[in-house]
Structures are given as structure tokens and as C-alpha cells.
Amino acid sequence: MKKNNTFSEIRVALAEAENILILPHVKADGDAVGSASALTQILRKDGKNVYAWAAEEPLPSLAVLAHEAYVTEIPEGFTPDLLISVDCADIDRCIDRVQFFPDVKILNLDHHVTNTRFGDLVYVIGNLSSTGQLIYQLFDSLGYKINKKAARSILGAILLDTNRFYYSSTGTRTLEIAAEIIERGVNMAELCEELFGNNPKEKMRLLAMAIERAEYFAEGRGVFCYLPQEVQDQAGTDNTDDIVEALRDIQGVELALLLYDYKGTLRASMRSFGSLDVGKIALKFGGGGHRNAAGITFEKTNVDKVSRELLSTLEALFVRKN
């Protein structure tokens, strides 16, 4: 496995580049949008030509973190001499764009423990709260200026990837960085209001339906909910964000499984606490993720069969743990 490059190697690669293309992962989440936008601004301040090239428009809820140079199409004739992948654990997560520039160097910046360390230059710290934190630390150490707007995007990335400092990836330095960012004038309350105080009515209705449909297993230590297309239609949205977390946050629950129809596929989203490893379960079924947060997409849609198999596997997880 490739070791992290040194600060001076990264400094040289950045100094040599004129035109830089930043690549957040497909289906960019808050960390990817915020990190890519922040990095775009940091490097533009340094005099580079920079775009963040995303696979799709940022989700409406994340638009507040996106810089104007966060685009889905790069200007005609823009030829990068450096690619920076952001928050991509695997090159597959940005290959849709990398493929157009097979000869251009890649700098891989990420915080996933599972990062495959692809690319010509690598700077990955697993278990860090977010790629946002990694970019803040790295570019601060390299002596770059991180202006207020970039700092705001980084704070957003941190807030979303830690669920407002809830997750164990939140370290001392995470909180210190948030303090430093506030210190330079970023209004965290306003940012929280934009990121967390903006739940669409339809999404809240779907959450209410999920709570009412929830079923418990493993003596209440597990909770399961299936949201078929009809229920989503009734709520008026297919936005299932945060629902599985809300289910996990029910008293006594250590593991939550949300199953939902999504554009002809069936998806499973799992969240757990502590040592209950849903990442392993996801791997077993062809999905992926982390120990406490993982997902699977099933092509077939035999819901009964899938849910039976998943539930019995999850039941077994509790038994093994006892």
C-alpha cells in the first residue's frame, strides 16, 4: 500500500500545476461538496485555474456549501494538469470523470479507512472526522490561506459528516478547527439552520410514516422498516435521508435497518452503535460502508426474501455478540 506523500512532495505537485480539476465522489454528500468547494477556493486564492467537477448537481440541501466553480460541466478547452480526488475511497467513485484524462496525475485526498490509496500522490488519514478536516489541516500546514468562505464550506463538511459532532470520529482537533473557523467570523448557528433546519415537509411526513411502520426484532435491540414506493408516493418524496438514523436513535435500539424502493432497485441502509459491525453484513450482501453505517443495493426486488435473509443475518449478529 502506498504511504502518504510528504508535505513537500504535495507542495511541489501543487506548485507545478496551473489548471486543477477537483473531483468529488459520485452522489456527493456534504463532505464531498463542502471539501471540493473549499479546496477550489483555497487553490484559486493561490492563483490557480480551478474547477470542482461533480458527477451531478449538488443536492438542494447542500447547495449552500457549493462554490460557483462547483460545476457539472467544465469550460470548453479546460485541460487540467492535476486531478484531485476528494472523499473518494476508491477510484471507481470518480472514474466517470477521470477517464477523460488518463495521463493526468491524481492527488488522492480522503479520510476513509478503506481508501485503496490509488493515484500518483496520496494523502489519506483514516478515521478522521471528514475530508473537510483533512483539507483544513493539510492546507493550513502547507501555509495556504483558507478564507472565510472556504472555512464555512469546511465547517459544513465537518458538521454533516459527524452529524454535529455526534460520531466517534469527532476528535479534539475536529472541535478546535470548528472553534478556529467560528473565530474567523463564520456564523455556525446560521449554517446549522441552513443545513439542519431545512427539512422538506414531505421528508418529515415520510419520517412520520417510517416511525409508524417500524417493527422491532432481537428483543427491541433491532428495528426494521420497509418503505415501498406507494408509501413514498403518499408522502410525496423519495428522500429517505436521516430516517435510518432516527430509527437507530430509538431507546434500546442498537441497530436499524431501513429498506426502501429506489428507482426500480431495492436498497438497504443500516446503522448501528458500538461493536455491531453492519459494514461486514453489507459486504456479505455485495454492499459496502463502515462498521456503524453501511448500505446495499439489490437488483432483484423480492422484498420478502431479501428482508428475511437480512433480518436473520442481523439477528445472528446479536447472538454472536452476546
For a second copy, the binding residues in 114-143 under the rule CB under 8 A are none
| C-alpha–C-alpha distance, residues 234 and 230, integer Å | 6
DSSP conformation class of 58: P
Burial readout 174-206 (b: 16 or more C-beta within 10 A, e: otherwise) = beebbebbeeeebebeebeebbeeeeeeebeeb
β partners of residue 122: 108
Cα–Cα distance measured from residue 241 to residue 262, given in angstroms and rounded to the nearest whole number = 13
Among 171, 217, 237, 285, which residue interacts with a second copy (rule: CB under 8 A)?
A: 171
190 φ/ψ angles, rounded to the nearest 5 degrees: -65, -40
Q: Least distance in Å: CB of 281 to a second copy?
A: 20
To 10 degrees, the CA torsion angle through 77, 81, 84, 89? 100
CB of 8 to a second copy, least distance (A): 29
Binding-site string for a second copy from residue 146 to residue 165, where x marks contact by CB under 8 A and - marks none: ------------------xx
In terms of Cα–Cα distance, which of 208, 266, 279 is closest to 242? Answer: 208
Residues written for the chain: 322
25 grid coordinates = 465522489
What is the crossing angle of helices 188-196 and 172-183, to 10°?
110
Please, what is the minimum distance in Å from the beta carbon of residue 212 to a second copy? 5
Q: Tell me whether residue 8 or residue 251 sits nearer to a second copy (CB atom).
A: 251
Residue 62 gets which letter from DSSP?
Answer: G
178 binds a second copy (CB under 8 A): yes
Judged by CB under 8 A, does residue 176 bind a second copy?
yes
* 111 is a contact residue toward a second copy (CB under 8 A): no
Question: Does residue 113 touch a second copy according to CB under 8 A?
Answer: no
Region for 10 from its dihedrals, namely left if φ exceeds 0, alpha if ψ lies in -120 to 50, beta otherwise: alpha
Candidates 32-40, 116-124, 138-146, 177-185: pick the segment binding a second copy (CB under 8 A): 177-185
Q: Which is nearer to a second copy, 93 or 221 (CB)?
A: 221
215 binds a second copy (CB under 8 A): no
Q: Is residue 200 a contact residue for a second copy (CB under 8 A)?
A: yes
Per the listing, cell 448501528 goes with: 272
238 contacts a second copy (rule: CB under 8 A)? no
The reply to whether 275 sits near a second copy by the rule CB under 8 A is no
Among positions 13, 182, 231, 311, the unique one binding a second copy when judged by CB under 8 A? 182
Q: Does 168 bind a second copy (CB under 8 A)?
A: yes
What are the Cα distances from residue 193, in Å, to 28, 53, 180, 186, 285?
A: 21, 27, 20, 13, 37
Rule CB under 8 A: say whether 179 interacts with a second copy.
yes
Residue from 104, 175, 231, 283 that binds a second copy (CB under 8 A)? Answer: 175
Out of 103, 212, 219, 230, name the contact with a second copy by CB under 8 A.
212
- The set of cell numbers assigned to 41 is 477556493
In angstroms, how far apart are the furthest CA atoms of the chain?
61
Sole binder of a second copy in the list 13, 204, 283, 311 (CB under 8 A): 204
- Which residue number, 191 or 296, has a Cβ lying nearer to a second copy? 191
C-beta of 53 vs 226, nearer to a second copy: 226
Give the whole-angstrom CA distance, residue 149 versus residue 309.
Answer: 47
Interface with a second copy includes 196 (CB under 8 A)?
yes
Rg over CA atoms, the chain: 20
HSE-up (13 A, CA, CB side) for residue 276: 22
Judged by CB under 8 A, does residue 228 bind a second copy?
A: no
Residues of this chain that bind a second copy (CB under 8 A): 164-168, 170-173, 175-176, 178-180, 182-183, 187-190, 192-193, 196-201, 204-205, 207-209, 211-212, 246, 248-251, 273
